[in-house]
Amino acid sequence: TDALVAGFQSVLPLELMEPFDAAELELLLCGSDEVDLEDWKVNTLYKSGYTAESEVIKWFWSLAEKMSNEERLKLLQFATGTASIPSRGFANLQGSDGDRRFSIMRVVDTSRLPQAHTCFNELVLPEYPTQEELETKLTQALSHLGDGILLR
């Protein structure tokens, strides 16, 4: 354990951690596991023709509102590769190249399941014609979360 403490202290001096209790330190290091849906919405970018007012986007957020926190974390992990939220919220989400907000990109091929570019925190969401189809296809995509990398 001495080697672990010494290694940790070489990166972050222990005296800098003294003001924090264990829960605060865990939040700073690991992020939160409570999804603040309003913060997520406010810090989402829309691409390729989607806006916050697009019908599919409204259906997406309506579905997210109906989800349990555990299901929202699964959705977050599907789209970003991580199931934790930065301690300072979604505005500070990290991608492979630094700060990168969550985004939803429109595609017109509704035969596809939703996909994700996790390095870029990007959900690729087809413009489904009905809310029921969006829910069915997103649920199907999320059911494959543990399958690893899928190529089409």
- Cβ burial 99-136 (10 Å sphere, 16+ → b, else e): ebbbbbbbbeeeeebbbbbbebbbbbbbbbeeeeebbe
* 30 in active site: no
DSSP state of 143: T
Selected catalytic residue, list 12, 25, 119, 145? 119
Of 128, 125, 108, the residue nearest 46 (C-alpha) = 125
Query: Rounded distance, CA 138 to CA 132, Å?
Result: 10
Strands 122-126 and 94-95, by their bridges, are: unpaired
Active centre residues (catalytic): 119
